[in-house]
Structure 1
Amino acid sequence: MRRSLFLIFLFSAFTACMKGQKVDLVIHNAKIHTMDADDAVAEAIAIRGGKIIEVGPERQILNKYRSDETIDAQGKEIYPGFTDAHGHMLMYAKQLLGVDLRGVRSEQELIHRCEQYKAQHPNLPFLIGQGWDQTLWAGQQMPTNKEINRLFANIPVCLYRIDGHAALVNNYLLKKSRALDQIKYLKGGEIIFSKTIVLTQEPTGLLIDNAMNLVQPYIPDYFKSDYLKALLQVQDELLQYGITGVHEAGIDFEHIAWFKELIARKKLKINLYAMLMDTPQNRAFVQKYGQYRFYNLNIRSFKCFADGALGSRGALLKAPYHDHPESHGLLLTDVQRMRNLAQFCLKHGYQMNTHSIGDSANALVLSIYEQVYRRKPDHRFRIEHAQVLDPKDFQKFANFAVFPSVQPTHAVSDADWAEQRLGKARMKGAYAYKTLLGQFGMLALGTDFPVEQINPFATIQAAFNRPVQEALTLTEILRGMTIYAAFAAFQEKRIGTLEKGKDATLAIFEYPVNGLQGQVQNYAWRTYIKGKCVFKLEAL
């Protein structure tokens, strides 16, 4: 009898223990989209030590686990934290510090904003701005530096186009840098002159792509402390949209220390996958450290530029521009250097992520990647943008295991003028997201912020509402911002889905996520990184 009572006691104690496993956090009354292979949807999740312990039905989770922190999600949708697979935190930080030229509707408005900024910062010995886009102006003519020469004759001025592939500078900066004396050595760039007759030409101040490198060393910059503060502002905006990771598309050597400092101070919380610019310092860093990780900073890729941007006619095309027959665009990095970088990456276990917009640039990069594929099939080398392709080249993404990384909002922003640049025939191979997904099987999605808005729901709407043959389903889009983005950074075992053992990095959204028009104004209700709440929507 006593033995039976003892066994009953043990069973009761064991059952009570099982019902009350202690965890750090339980979230319930939710619609949890796990994004796993079965697209399973759950109602509750238990989290301990920054990891997911279990995802399942509400009653099962609440009966099995107890926590000092239990969140009623009020029936809201939960997804893995979004990853922006192509963004520019540093560029956005710089934009926040300088003249904001986004949305200006004319050259006159551009000048007016510069005057306003200078009045607010009278002692600043330079003027930097970013965000102008001449395709928004009547006539779509590129600006000239006539007015900024008059207004800012004694300080350097550099105003970047929205895509960062062109800049308007004043004559003070041109003279200080002696940029005009270096024209004959310039490759992959262009200095625009007002007239075509060589003896009478005068610079307009417009520099395209690599021409900007001639003046860059002569432009003063903000203090590091200013940048660090601005980077945290960028992070705040990311977290409010449920974005918990960014693939930072191009950093210099000094920026590694900046991000590490913010992490050491426990300020930078997002998962940062950084692409190194191809510089001697960065190559030396890789040779010394190999694949590098410092808490939530991961470095194992290089960024390379094959060509420029379509808006400034720097994208490299096989046939001339439809609206500028004298030009095919620009090759920014010579073929041998790209091949050399590909071999360097292969040797050190790094990924190569190449900016390729025009059909000629994409064909060239695919041919370089083919040689790498024959040596290492799972290299996950990426093409960033893959914006315009010759239809015969799509198959090569599958043949050579090339990972496409695209930004659907470009298709919306470029819609009013892309056909002017390309002509109707080439539009068939432009912004072809469904075709790219069908070839490779995965498609990493980003925004290219600050070139486009940081809002991931604009990405969802843009991809969902493409012409029917190239539109993505909602599930495909969400995978592109979660598990596909994780694969694109070799992080699929840690993030990208809400499954047992993975990081408890997730977002609870205020409204249901869909691709319908008018759903761009969604945002996170709560954002969690490794089980810690990093954003909480304040009551309106």
Structure 2
Amino acid sequence: MRLFKALILLFVMASCTQKEKVDLIVSRGSVYTVDEEFTTAESFAVKDGKILAVGTAQEILDKYESDNIVDANGQFVYPGFNDAHCHFNGYAINLMQYADLRGTESPDEIYTLLMAHHDKFGGDWILGRSWDQNDWEVKDFPDKTKLDELFPDIPVYLVRVDGHAGWCNTKALELAGIKADTKVQGGEVLLKNGEPTGILIDNAMGFVGKLIPEITAEQQEKGLLEAQKNCFAAGLTSVTDCGLDKATILLMDEMQKDGNLKMRVNAMLNPTQENFDFFVKKGEAWKTDRLLVNTIKIYADGALGSRGALLMGDYSDDKGNSGLQIETQDYYDMICRLAYDNNFVVATHAIGNGANRLMLDTYGKLLKEKNDRRWRIEHSQIINPDDFEKFAAFSIVPSIQPTHCTSDMPWAEDRVGAERIKGAYAYQTLLNQNGWLPAGTDFPVEDIYPLYTFYSAVFRTDHSGWPEGGWHKYEGLTREQTLRSMTSWAAKSSFEEDQKGALKPGMWADFVILDTDLMKATPEEVLNTKILSTWSAGGKVF
């Protein structure tokens, strides 16, 4: 009897000390969980791609065992960064097709790059992306003169950094049938001495854009994988791609099912009939573990840099021009009704205070009161003071891109004047409307790197520290607010806050390990932060 009791006791003791086998343990880190209380931890266990438990290193190692233990050794662990507004597929295509003109300081520098690019790659077109006349000594729009001299027989199409203006040579204009009397709703063909200069604004770009040869599916797949590689290296595990067609979404789905595309994608739809018929009219979201389709993306106006943003009143530096309304009121009403009736989200690009008022009021006609539909205004860049409260009244989500603020600040007040600038890039005021907001980069308009988002939102300076103390610093976000905007609030903006965006039990084990404590780092330390590793569903992807 005594022996039997001893055996029972040993069995009970063994049962109590037996550890559960898991796929991964991250131990001895400084883990920012970004949960509701913004708690920190040392360790977590992962099973079947999801967080199983979070606690101290001792608590996790006492309860769980794994063949894969990552010793974070005091380094800093965050939820995987989520870019709430970008153009992932557009970036992929750029990698395959376009000369990179970002950071060029003169038209002459661009001409040199284009000649080198064409010598290397050839092709029936010369394509480029990301020039910005505001970075040049002479900040006027360029024209077609030199492009015609260098490339008289090859069409040239160069997209401005914001994607809202194109710069063409005469050959491209001729192929597109563009003449001095060419008109288009929501766009403009710029003229000089009665002739097209080669600059096309917003919807006028479509005349040339539709002629650009499409890349093959094989090229697109290669580009998406290269884009994913760069995103993982930057600490991104999720992106919202703002404007895709059915074929691209189905390609992404196929690549994800094959295991090649691990990036989580919230795919916003271009407003095409094919997309409406295939996705929207089913009345419910298309959702897998890595792909979500529940939003229609539309445009209310153009961009501030090309003076296409729709303002209430003229531009301060361009009298007689108040910007462009891209579509008619009837069009916006139709799209919003379609989305409302089918339980889809509407996300509208709106930069100027005129465009923001237009869409806030258009949304409000259907939404009427507070709700949980999470309709979005992308950019929410310049707001009339009387309109901020509409975000709260109708539960409209302002989706911001903090690097736009620090890119635009040298010239933004010249565009809109001292009074209107008070309602521009007003992130803290926007945050106060609903208590949360998502942030992104808008890459490839801005750099892909999410830590630049963090830097711009918190410090409100350029990378040299100008202006000292930060530009309109009172509208900056705190470090905690900014981290939430890049993780849990970004997930909330796509109705995925229960699946990702925080490191707590039941969530996908998407995380990034950095060498820097973002909650305490100096501006210089933030800029010099190293991404040590990136993980998706508990698997190392960088």
Structure 1-normalised TM-score?
0.95
Deviation by residue 1:471-516 (Cα, 9 ceiling, x = unmatched): 1110000000111001100000100111111111111112222463
SS at match of 2:231: helix
Match of 1:213 in 2: 206
How far, CA to CA, are the matches of 2:155 and 2:200 in structure 1?
14
Matched, 1:517 2:515: no
Q: Return the letter of the residue paired with 1:530.
A: A
Equivalent position to 1:274, from 252, 267, 274: 267
Match of 1:198 in 2: none
Match of 1:25 in 2: 24
Deviation, 1:283, is 0.7
Matched, 1:5 2:11: no
Deviation, 1:92, is 1.4
How far, CA to CA, are the matches of 1:182 and 1:215 in structure 2?
16
Matched, 1:321 2:337: no
Matched, 1:496 2:506: no
8 Å CA contact 2:307, 2:323 repeated in 1: yes
Matched, 1:103 2:97: no
Matched, 1:391 2:390: no
Deviation, 1:288, is 4.5
Deviation by residue 1:63-98 (Cα, 9 ceiling, x = unmatched): 111100111001011111110000111221232231
Q: Return the letter of the residue paired with 1:379.
A: R
Match of 2:233 in 1: 240
How far, CA to CA, are the matches of 1:321 and 1:40 in structure 2?
46
Match of 1:203 in 2: 196
Q: Return the letter of the residue paired with 2:138.
A: G
Equivalent position to 1:458, from 452, 456, 460: 452
Match of 2:492 in 1: 487
Deviation by residue 1:277-300 (Cα, 9 ceiling, x = unmatched): 101111111225741124411111
The within-5 A match list for 1:155-174 is: 155-174=154-173
How far, CA to CA, are the matches of 2:345 and 2:332 in structure 1?
13
Deviation, 1:456, is 1.2
Would you identify which runs of 4 or more consecutive aligned residues in structure 1 move more than 4 Å?
none
Match of 2:112 in 1: 112
Matched, 1:532 2:536: no
Q: Indicate how the Cα distance of structure 1 residues 512 and 425 shifts in structure 2: closer, same or farther if over 3 A, else same.
A: same
8 Å CA contact 2:180, 2:196 repeated in 1: no
8 Å CA contact 1:127, 1:158 repeated in 2: yes
Deviation by residue 1:359-400 (Cα, 9 ceiling, x = unmatched): 010011000111222288211000000000001111111111
The within-5 A match list for 1:219-298 is: 219-286=212-279, 287-288=281-282, 290-298=284-292
Match of 2:375 in 1: 381
Deviation, 1:183, is 2.0
8 Å CA contact 1:32, 1:77 repeated in 2: yes
Match of 1:477 in 2: 482
How far, CA to CA, are the matches of 1:523 and 1:279 in structure 2?
41
Match of 2:298 in 1: 304
How far, CA to CA, are the matches of 2:370 and 2:285 in structure 1?
17
Match of 2:74 in 1: 75
> Which stretch shows the higher mean deviation, 133-142 or 4-13?
4-13
SS at match of 2:78: strand
SS at match of 2:210: helix
Match of 1:538 in 2: none
Deviation by residue 1:174-217 (Cα, 9 ceiling, x = unmatched): 11221328724x1100000113xxxxx11111100000112222
Q: Return the letter of the residue paired with 1:131.
A: S
How far, CA to CA, are the matches of 1:271 and 1:516 in structure 2?
31
Equivalent position to 2:510, from 472, 493, 505: 505
How far, CA to CA, are the matches of 1:262 and 1:521 in structure 2?
33
> Which stretch shows the higher mean deviation, 317-326 or 282-291?
282-291
How far, CA to CA, are the matches of 1:301 and 1:509 in structure 2?
32
Q: Indicate how the Cα distance of structure 1 residues 522 and 95 shifts in structure 2: closer, same or farther if over 3 A, else same.
A: same
Match of 1:440 in 2: 434
SS at match of 1:338: helix
Deviation, 1:256, is 1.4
Two-structure CA RMSD over aligned residues (Å): 1.5
> Which stretch shows the higher mean deviation, 339-348 or 285-294?
285-294
8 Å CA contact 1:166, 1:212 repeated in 2: yes
How far, CA to CA, are the matches of 1:220 and 1:456 in structure 2?
31
How far, CA to CA, are the matches of 1:212 and 1:388 in structure 2?
24
> Which stretch shows the higher mean deviation, 230-239 or 360-369?
230-239
Match of 2:325 in 1: 331
Q: Return the letter of the residue paired with 2:437.
A: L
In structure 2, runs of 5+ residues without a counterpart are 461-471
SS at match of 1:392: helix
- Count, aligned residues: 526
In structure 1, runs of 5+ residues without a counterpart are 196-200, 536-540
How far, CA to CA, are the matches of 2:530 and 2:55 in structure 1?
25
Match of 2:414 in 1: 420
The within-5 A match list for 1:344-423 is: 344-374=338-368, 377-423=371-417
How far, CA to CA, are the matches of 1:353 and 1:104 in structure 2?
32
